Amino acid sequence: MHIMEGFLPATHCVGWALASAPFVAAGAVRIRRVVRQHPEVKLLLGASGAYVFVLSALKLPSVTGSCSHPTGTGLAASLFGPTVTTVLSAIVLLFQALLLAHGGLTTLGANIFSMGIVGPFVAWGLYRGLSAAGASLAVAIFFAAALGDLSTYVVTSFQLALAFPDPAGGVAGAAGKFLGVFAVTQVPLAISEGLLTVVVMNLLGKYSAGELSALSVLSRRSA
């Protein structure tokens, strides 16, 4: 769920850009270090970024009967690690703004914060935490992908609520409104994304062990 161009006030655009900048810079520094040590990783990262873009362009069926687009943060964080995902998400969000008019340039910082930082870190944390607690791979992946998607949507709603507080209910009241408006599509979508990510990871584990091993270079070095 992207915040569209011009929807946030100028001060909020600057604030969210400043909040996102350190995470993107840290990811960029790590990527630069890995690429200098292993130049072949550059092509792998380019291909991975293209995969994340295509993943986010896929229409996903929702249990309500409608369809929408997945964020791909759960799958990307599981495959590439959260810091690499932050940088790839920043580039993907820039591409989505300029190739699809989804999101925007002024709202890029806010969108990176919700989809490129909070979503991947929540997904990665849940994946690692649940795996460490003894949950099966399918359970860990499902909750990582579903709650990674849901956290993106919750953060976006709070970003909108901070920008447009409700005259009566304040920021909390506005957050309730925005969560309510977008919950109709986002909650079923998060469940669908969780299920889809489990299917993809199961198949990748079964048939693409070589590719997963190549990608582990990225996640191990940059997580």
Partner 1 sequence: MRLIDRHAQTSRYRHLPAAEKLIAATGAMAVALTAESFLVEAAVLAAAVALLTLGARVGPRDLWRAARVPVGFVLAGSLAQATSLSLHGGLPSLAWPVGSLEPAAFVALRSLACIAALLGLALTTPLADLLHLLRRGGLGRELGDIAFLMLRIIWVTLDCLTEGLRSQANRLGFVGYRRSLRSLGLLLAALLPRTLGRARRLETGLAARGYDGALCFLRQEQPVSALRLGMILGGLAALATLARLGA
- Considering only residues 87 to 116 of the shown chain, the ones binding partner 1 according to CB under 8 A are 87, 91-92, 94-95, 97-102, 104-106
For 136, other C-beta atoms within 10 Å of its C-beta total 11
Shortest reach from residue 114's CB to partner 1, in Å: 14
In the region spanning residues 33 to 72, those forming contacts with partner 1, defined by CB under 8 A, are 35-36, 39-40, 42-51, 53-55, 57-58, 60-61, 63
Contacts with 56 (C-beta within 8 Å, 6 or more apart), sequence order: 69, 70, 71, 72, 92, 96
- Answer for which of 18, 38, 199, 220 binds partner 1 (CB under 8 A) is 199
Q: Using N-to-C axis directions, what is the helix angle for 82-100 and 10-37, rounded to 10°?
A: 120
Using CA atoms, how far apart are residues 186 and 1, in angstroms rounded to an integer?
8
Site string for partner 1, 127-166 (x = CB under 8 A): ---------------------------------x---x-x
- In terms of CB distance, is 129 or 211 closer to partner 1? 211
Going by C-alpha positions, the residue among 21, 162, 220 that lies closest to residue 154 is 162
Shortest reach from residue 2's CB to partner 1, in Å: 7
- Answer for which of 38, 136, 173, 220 binds partner 1 (CB under 8 A) is 173
Torsion, Cα 45 48 52 54, to 10 degrees, reads 120
Q: Which two tokens stand for residue 76?
A: 């990307």
- In terms of CB distance, is 33 or 136 closer to partner 1? 33
For 157, other C-beta atoms within 10 Å of its C-beta total 23
Is residue 211 near partner 1 by the rule CB under 8 A?
A: yes
- Answer for which of 139, 182, 183, 223 binds partner 1 (CB under 8 A) is 182
